[in-house]
Structure formats: C-alpha cells, structure tokens
C-alpha cells in the first residue's frame, strides 16, 4: 500500500508534491510527509493523519526547494504516528527515502546495520533503506541505491534524495507500482498516473528493477549494472477531469453514475450483435479452449464477487468446470493445475499482492493466465498471458462500483466467447444474449433512477446495526457484493447467505425488526426465493425485496420492494447491484461516515 511521489524541476516542489499526494490518498491515509532539498540539505515534514495535517504544517513552516519526494501511508510495520511516517532518513539526515511495499527481511538487515553502529528511530521496515543506502554510499547515489536494493527482499517502489547530490533524484520499483511523468524541464515519479495528470500526459511505465535517475537534463532509466534502457513513452488519453469528482459530492457517487459509460466502453468492439465475440487481446485458440479441463477464477473482495458470477456464467454457457477462489487462500493450498488449466485473475488495480502471487503460482505450474484488470500496464497485465482490460477509467473511491460492473462484463464476455468457440450455445440464443448485453448501459441508467427512493429507504433503516442479504444463484453473488458494500462504507454489520442455507443455522439470528434484503431477480427461482423471504417475515424480519419489474405479486409479502428494469435472468447481477450500491452509499451518508475513505481500508492492497 502507500503512495509515493517525487518532483525534480524548476518550480517549488512542495505544492506539486502535495497535489500529487492528494490524488494518491486512496492508497492509504494514515500519514503524509515530504522531503525537499535546498541549500540547508534534506528538509523533512511529516504528520500523522490526513494530508491536510501536513499541508497545515507546511503552511506554518514552508520548505523551499525544487527537488523533493512525498508519501501517503497505509500503515503495515508500526502504528500510524509522526515518527513512523515517511520520508525516513539515515542517521545524519542526509539521505531521505519514501517507500511503498514491504521489506520482508528488514529485521535481519536492521540487526546487521546495528552491528555497524547504525541506530533507528521508527518501527518501520522502511527505515533500513536510507541506512542501507548510507552504508553503500561512496559518492554515487545511483550506485548506492543499486547496491542497497540488492539486499532487499520483498516489494518496493522507492524515491531517494541525498544532500550530497542535490541535482539528482533516484527511484526504483520491484513488485510495487511506479511511473515517471515527463514534463517540460521538470519530471515526476508517482505510484499512479492520476498523481501527475494535472502536469503531464506522457509517462514511462516502469518494470521491476528499473532505476530512474532524474537530473536537470532529464530522465534516464537503467537496468541492472547501470545499463541504460530506452523506454517507450505512454501517452495517457483519459481526461484529467476523469480523476476528479466532476460535480458529485463523493467519488463513489460519481463512479456509480459513470457505470453505464464504463459498461459501454468495456463492451465496445467486443460484443456487437451480428458479429462474433471479439476479444483482441486474448490469443487463446479454439483448440486450447476445447482442451480446458478447469478454469480457476482467482481474486479478492469485490473482484472475487465478480468471479462468483463468472463461475455461474462460464459453466452455464461454455460447459467448462470453474472454481472460484479467494486469492489469499488459493496460494496456500495445493491446487491441481496443468497446461490445460486456465486461470482468470480479476483485479481492478492489477497490483493486489495475493492475486499476483496466485497468478505467478499458476504460471509456474503451466497454466495459461488471463488478467481482467482496469489498470493499463499494471503488474497483473504484465505478467499474464492475455489481458482483458475493463475500461472503467480511474476508480478513486475505496469501495469499488464501476470497476465491479465492468468485471462482470468481462466475465460475460469470456463466457460468450468460449461458448461461441465451443459451440455449446445455440447460435440464435447466443445472438439474443449479445443483443440483451448491448442494452445493459441503458438498463443500468434506468436503475439509477431509484436513487431518491433508496435514499428514503436508507433514512428509514439507518439506526439498524445488523443487516442480512439473501439470494439464490447469481442473486447470491449480488447479495455477497451488496453486503460487503454496506459493511465497508457504513460500518453496519451485515452478512450474505444463500437463501437455501438460511434454515441451516443463520435463521436463528432473525428477530423482530431484523433487516433482510432479499434478491429475487431470477424468474426460474422466484417462487423459491419468495418462500425463503416469507420464512423470515414469519419470524419478524423487516424485508426489503429486489425484483424485476412486473413481479408485482411480491408486494403482497412486503411493502419495501425495489424494482429493477426487466432484463434477461443471466444479466440481472449487472442491474441488481445498482440499488444496492446506492443503499450502501446513502447509509454511509446518513451515518456520517467517510464514504470515499472508509476506516482501516485502502484502495490497493499490495501486501499479503
């Protein structure tokens, strides 16, 4: 986790570093800090808590200078505190480092450095880095950083400045993201593109173990042994405004409303009625698809819930056995994988540590890997055999919404593609599915019209401390995702159960007034789900039902019904999640929570 930035140029560094960090707070916001070089040497300012605390400190005691590094932290080693905040320095404060990642062997290094007389102030793993650089420093910062990183095990993206070399900024990445922003007479480093987008659209996407050296003459990238590398410039085409709130009070609401477009963009050119499914970035052949003995879909959190829908649809349409796994579990069991196994990793960021570890394991064992990711050039995209990008645009709110629906679209696209290649679905039915899928942007738009009534509903139930979500089939996947959204942004305890499982224990939790949201969007399962709903109503539950328009009979059982536009059963997850996202948003608002930055969470989980 954490976000890092760096600046080398002709303008004052502090405001540019702060602006960059403000775009990276989604990566963690336990503390923020900067280190800026000037004639006094390395000047550090850092504060526990949100970036605003650092801004206030800098307003009180400004630091001038044209070269600097900055950091926003999600605590791993050592609690959030001023002393554990980055940047960290060597003993005499001449070398400063910002770091995103985890140094797994830091204790060993720390103990070794202590035998050499080094002392430490913080509980962090990061503090070994400036001290190690100091140990190897013989008048060449790049060399010292290269030697120091040789000793590091784990993940890191680091930015380093040094009092003795005020005309240089050095950076490197390994398993943590890092980009270089290329300006006019000035350059930047950052963990993610939005941090530099107000300044430049031209970036380098760094690979592992690529070293950056910034000087007044520009940027040079080196591989091991100081071999200079020619990098291709990546031109960012999305709008800087796309990374801003665009008039909405919160990023999450903006992103909820961006879903029709995100879905449309993700389907564009891929699902076109009258044409074969076209996934140009996936090169798996018909023969290879026919030989597949197993598909593993591996992901974490919300992305995992998209995978659960993926299992239903790939099995149903392409008739290939699918297992869906939580990445942190998958990597620690001994799954059966061979060259006829396909792994689909689903990751918005493409940087989730557990998902990447599962990806690597599958590749080592001979499986082919498709990455479904939203971030171009992310680690998942680079390491997989095939990539299916979800074109949701940058997702800033910690709670995933638009990335999730585009992950669903990716699951349907893969399922339809495999079905078409294998001939497991009648071509007429397949065509109907493509036509129906093409209408999803407008159906999602129509579902957004329930916003006001959902807000009223949230007001009515905001005092409840427990909630349950029930569903069968793909409705169960939606129930899981809805439940996660509610708990993560409104801190209401919530659980999702498969409707049929209720009688096997959880029904004991139902008492007078308990809020139970029942997803009943599947026509063929409708009656069964309504029966389960009646069982909880009989035990006093206050039921909110979600059903397709036309199923008015459900109103006989509960007056709280949220109708979604009619859609083919296969695709209801894309539409049914919309009122659930709105419900979690308004519960969060009504409870006065921080919608975009829920406590204890970070957007990109780059540690195990």
| Interface with ligand F6R, residue 131, by CB under 6 A | no
| 152 and 218 Cβ atoms separated by less than 8 Å | no
Beta bridge partners of 203: 181, 234
| 580 touches ligand F6R (CB under 6 A) | no
DSSP element (H, E) containing 548 = strand 542-548
Applying CB under 6 A, does 308 fall inside the site for ligand F6R? no
For the CB of residue 488, give the shortest distance to ligand F6R in the complex, in Å: 6
* Position 369 contacts ligand F6R (CB under 6 A): no
Number of residues forming the site for ligand F6R (CB under 6 A):
15
Is residue 353 within the footprint of ligand F6R (CB under 6 A)?
no
Stretch that binds ligand F6R, among 267-275, 294-302, 433-441, 506-514 (CB under 6 A): 294-302
Binds ligand F6R (CB under 6 A): choice among 191, 400, 490, 521: 400
User: What's the CA gap between 405 and 270, in Å, rounded?
Assistant: 16
Asked if 584 interacts with ligand F6R (CB under 6 A), we say: no
Helix 128-136 and helix 106-115, axial crossing angle in degrees, nearest 10: 50
Measured from the CB of residue 414, what is the shortest distance to ligand F6R in angstroms? Answer: 16
Nearer to ligand F6R, 127 or 175 (CB): 175
Partners of 182 in the β-ladder: 187
583 forms part of the interface with ligand F6R (CB under 6 A): no
Q: Which residue has the tokens 């890191």?
A: 156
DSSP 560: E
Q: Which of 301, 307, 573, 579 binds ligand F6R (CB under 6 A)?
A: 301
Provide the residue count of the chain: 608
Distance CA 86, CA 46 (A): 7
447-506 residues in contact with ligand F6R (CB under 6 A) are 484, 488
Nearer to ligand F6R, 352 or 572 (CB): 352
3 state SS of 10:
coil
Q: Is 392 in the site for ligand F6R (CB under 6 A)?
A: no
Determine the residue with CB nearest ligand F6R.
301
Give the Cα separation of 283 and 276 in Å (integer).
15
CA 480 to chain centre: 18
Q: Which of 146, 358, 399, 414 binds ligand F6R (CB under 6 A)?
A: 399
The only residue of 84, 266, 302, 499 in contact with ligand F6R, by rule CB under 6 A: 302
> Closest distance between ligand F6R and the C-beta of residue 234, in Å?
20
CA atoms within 13 A on the CB side of 568: 16
Q: Which residue matches tokens 């909630």?
A: 467
Query: Which of 505, 306, 482 lies closest to 408 in space, CA to CA?
Result: 306
In this structure, how many other beta carbons lie within 10 angstroms of the beta carbon of residue 244?
Answer: 17
Nearer of residues 85 and 302 to ligand F6R, judged by Cβ: 302
- Considering the rule CB under 6 A, would residue 20 count as an interface residue with ligand F6R? no
Q: Could you say which of 72, 89, 266, 347 contacts ligand F6R (CB under 6 A)?
A: 347
Nearer to ligand F6R, 25 or 127 (CB): 25
Residue 190 token pair: 């950052």
Instruction: Report, in Å, the least distance between residue 328 CB and ligand F6R.
Output: 10
Is beta strand 179-182 parallel, antiparallel or unpaired with respect to 187-190? antiparallel
Instruction: Report d(CA 586, CA 458) in Å as an integer.
Output: 6
Q: Using the rule CB under 6 A, is 298 a contact of ligand F6R?
A: no
Catalytic machinery residues: 2, 603
Angle at CA of residue 292, ends 287 and 294, nearest 5°: 170
Nearer to ligand F6R, 302 or 529 (CB): 302
- Cβ distance to ligand F6R smaller for residue 358 or 419: 358
Out of 174, 349, 450, 490, name the contact with ligand F6R by CB under 6 A. 349
In the list 355, 413, 483, 560, the residue contacting ligand F6R (rule: CB under 6 A) is 355
Closest CA to 180 of 242, 141, 233: 233
Say whether 519 sits in a helix, a strand or coil: strand
Stretch that binds ligand F6R, among 21-29, 108-116, 281-289, 301-309 (CB under 6 A): 301-309
CA–chain centroid gap for 384, Å, is: 17
**CA angle, residues 191, 193, 198, in degrees to nearest 5:** 125
Question: Is residue 390 within the footprint of ligand F6R (CB under 6 A)?
Answer: no
CA neighbor of 72 nearest in space, from 200, 214, 210, 191: 191
Site membership for ligand F6R, residue 521 (CB under 6 A): no
Stretch that binds ligand F6R, among 95-103, 300-308, 416-424, 545-553 (CB under 6 A): 300-308
The CA-based diameter of the chain, rounded to the nearest angstrom, is: 80
Helix axes 440-447, 572-590, angle to 10 degrees: 30
Residue in 37, 146, 262, 300 binding ligand F6R, rule: CB under 6 A? 300
From the CB of 576, what's the least distance to ligand F6R, in Å? 17
Q: At its nearest, how many Å lie between ligand F6R and the CB of residue 532? A: 26
Strand partners, 72: 3, 32
Q: Does 605 bind ligand F6R (CB under 6 A)?
A: yes
89 binds ligand F6R (CB under 6 A): no
Cβ proximity to ligand F6R, 149 vs 355, nearer residue = 355
Handedness of CA 424, 427, 429, 433 (dihedral sign): positive
Judged by the rule CB under 6 A, the positions of this chain that interact with ligand F6R are 300-303, 347-349, 352, 355, 399-400, 484, 488, 604-605
């Amino acid at each position: 986790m954490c976000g890092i930035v760096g600046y080398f140029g002709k303008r004052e560094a502090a405001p540019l570093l702060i602006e960059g960090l403000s775009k990276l707070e989604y990566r963690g916001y336990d503390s923020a800090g900067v280190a800026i070089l000037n004639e006094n040497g390395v000047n550090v300012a850092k504060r526990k808590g949100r970036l605003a605390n650092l801004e206030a400190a800098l307003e009180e005691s400004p630091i001038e200078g044209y070269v600097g590094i900055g950091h926003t932290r999600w605590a791993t080693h050592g609690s959030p505190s001023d002393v554990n905040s980055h940047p960290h320095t060597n003993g005499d404060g001449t070398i400063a480092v910002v770091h995103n990642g985890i140094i797994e062997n830091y204790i060993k290094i720390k103990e070794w450095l202590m035998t050499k007389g080094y002392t430490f102030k913080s509980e962090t793993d990061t503090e070994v880095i400036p001290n190690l650089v100091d140990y190897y420093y013989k008048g060449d910062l790049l060399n010292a950083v290269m030697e120091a990183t040789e000793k590091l095990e784990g993940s890191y993206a680091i930015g380093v400045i040094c009092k003795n070399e005020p005309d240089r900024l050095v950076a490197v990445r390994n398993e943590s993201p890092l980009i270089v922003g290329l300006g006019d007479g000035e350059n930047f480093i950052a963990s993610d593109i939005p941090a530099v987008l107000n300044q430049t659209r031209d970036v380098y996407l760094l690979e592992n173990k690529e070293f950056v050296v910034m000087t007044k003459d520009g940027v040079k990238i080196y591989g091991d042994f100081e071999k200079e590398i020619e990098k291709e410039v990546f031109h960012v085409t999305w709008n800087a405004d796309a990374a801003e709130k665009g008039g909405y009070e919160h990023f999450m609401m903006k992103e909820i409303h961006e879903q029709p477009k995100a879905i449309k963009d993700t389907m564009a050119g891929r699902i076109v009625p009258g044409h074969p499914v076209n996934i140009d970035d996936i090169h798996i052949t018909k023969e290879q698809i026919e030989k597949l003995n197993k598909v593993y879909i591996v992901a974490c959190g919300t992305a995992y819930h998209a995978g659960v829908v993926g299992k239903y649809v790939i099995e149903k349409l392409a008739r290939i056995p699918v297992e869906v796994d939580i990445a942190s579990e998958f990597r620690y069991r001994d799954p059966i994988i061979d060259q006829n196994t396909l792994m689909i990793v689903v990751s918005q960021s493409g940087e989730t540590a557990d998902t990447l570890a599962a990806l690597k394991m599958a590749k080592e064992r001979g499986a082919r890997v498709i990455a479904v990711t939203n971030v171009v050039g992310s680690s998942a995209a680079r390491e997989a055999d095939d990539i299916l990008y979800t074109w949701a645009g940058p997702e800033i709110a910690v709670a995933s919404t638009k990335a999730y629906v585009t992950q669903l679209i990716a699951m349907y696209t893969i399922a339809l593609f495999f079905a078409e290649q294998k001939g497991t679905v009648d071509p007429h039915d397949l065509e109907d599915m493509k036509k129906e899928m093409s209408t999803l942007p407008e159906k999602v738009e129509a579902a957004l019209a329930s916003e006001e009534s959902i807000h009223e509903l949230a007001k009515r139930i905001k005092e409840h401390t427990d909630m349950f979500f029930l569903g069968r089939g793909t409705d169960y996947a939606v129930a899981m995702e809805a439940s996660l959204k509610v708990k993560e942004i409104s801190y209401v305890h919530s659980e999702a159960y498969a409707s049929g499982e209720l009688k096997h224990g959880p029904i004991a939790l139902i008492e007078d007034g308990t809020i139970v949201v029942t997803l009943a969007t599947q026509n063929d399962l409708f009656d069964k789900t309504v029966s389960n709903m009646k069982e909880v109503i009989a035990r006093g539950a206050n039921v909110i039902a979600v059903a397709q328009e036309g199923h008015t009979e459900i109103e006989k059982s509960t007056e709280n019904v949220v109708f979604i536009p009619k859609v083919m059963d296969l695709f209801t997850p894309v539409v049914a999640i919309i009122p659930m996202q709105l419900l979690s948003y308004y519960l969060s608002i009504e409870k006065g929570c921080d919608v975009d930055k829920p406590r204890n969470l970070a957007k990109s989980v780059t540690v195990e």
